[in-house]
Amino acid sequence: MTAIQIDSVEKSYKGFKALKGVSLNIEQGEFFGLLGPNGAGKTTLISTVAGLIRPDAGSVRIHGHDVVSDFREARKRLGVVPQELVFDPFFTVRETLRLQSGYFGIRNNDAWIDEVMHNLDLTEKADVNMRALSGGMKRRVLVAQALVHRPPVIVLDEPTAGVDVELRQTLWKFISRLNREGGHTVVLTTHYLEEAQAMCQRVAMLKRGEVVALDNMSALLRRVSGSQLVVHLKSGELPEGLRHLVSHDEHNHGNKYTLRVNHYSEVEPILARLRESGAVIDEMQLEQADLEDIFIQIMEGK
């Protein structure tokens, strides 16, 4: 079943085209990453999915319900955690979550509210006024608000921006459980690419309002070049003919070098050059490109 169907969505602001015919489907139960640099159109696309802005062209459906013409049914199936810390300073945490339940016509929801607060470590703050919470605690409440009506589709827009490690671990543990055990669809936008690589099954990358990459994580990691050969020389020096392959980063020091390679077949010629020069290898490791390497290559290549 398709959870989110995005068809040829376009959106412009005063002549600037934020989205240029974006199309993609996200299936029910997927953990999906939506990545891109600042200004790529991620937030505009998320706002369109949430029904907060209307597209100039194209359509978005949540479980088959159009977010414009069938807004109520679409919104019931969607929980969105926004980037901004938006809260009402006159209510406690529990009152905030009860009020959010009421927006969706849900009564007697305290058992689920208690479970959500427990899983986000908010129980001790249940009767604390929202304005008295730290930034990290307020962000936890935003997550709880998005989940309070038990939506089958959850959208997390930069949920861990500027928060501590404890919150990240707490959040991912709970969201992963909802995805794995409850079958919830999760859509994540984040600048922490290590989080996306660890959590997402499939990824779409946006640049200047267009989808420039769309694939499952394993295929994406396989198809894009960017492996690194790390060699630690016991004696000798790196030949001059290999110095153009050196990656200039913090891993290069002393007799340890990180060399860029595009394919496994390039490793043996490098080793042969080292042997010919009289260099003796103490340690060697071939490291695969990670999502950050791939992200940079795709963004610079298109």
CATH number, position 42: 3.40.50.300
- Rounded CA-CA distance 36/146 in Å is 23
Q: What pLDDT shows up at residue 214?
A: 94
Do 178 and 285 lie in one domain? The reply is no
Is 299 within the bounds of a domain?
A: no
Q: What pLDDT shows up at residue 250?
A: 47
Please check the confidence at residue 178 and state whether its pLDDT lies above 60: yes
Do 167 and 271 lie in one domain? The reply is no
pLDDT tens per residue, range 105-151: 999 999 999 999 999 999 999 999 999 998 888 989 999 999 999 99
β-pair partners for 13: 16
* Contact partners, residue 40, CB within 8 Å, separation at least 6: 206, 207, 208, 209
Q: Helices 110-119 and 93-103, interaxial angle, to 10°?
A: 130
Is 13 within the bounds of a domain?
A: yes
Please check the confidence at residue 251 and state whether its pLDDT lies above 60: no
Listed in order, strand segments (DSSP E) in 147-268 are: 153-157, 185-189, 202-207, 210-216, 227-235, 256-261
Closest CA to 280 of 220, 232, 244, 222: 232
- Rounded CA-CA distance 155/80 in Å is 5
Is 283 within the bounds of a domain?
A: yes
Closest CA to 139 of 110, 174, 163, 113: 163
- Rounded CA-CA distance 135/162 in Å is 9
pLDDT tens per residue, range 188-221: 999 889 999 999 999 999 999 999 999 998 888 7
3-state secondary structure (DSSP) of residue 3? strand
- Rounded CA-CA distance 204/193 in Å is 13
- Rounded CA-CA distance 190/160 in Å is 8
Do 134 and 254 lie in one domain? The reply is no
- Which of 221, 254, 272 delimits the end of a domain? 221
Predicted TM-score (pTM) of the model is 0.80
Q: What pLDDT shows up at residue 248?
A: 58
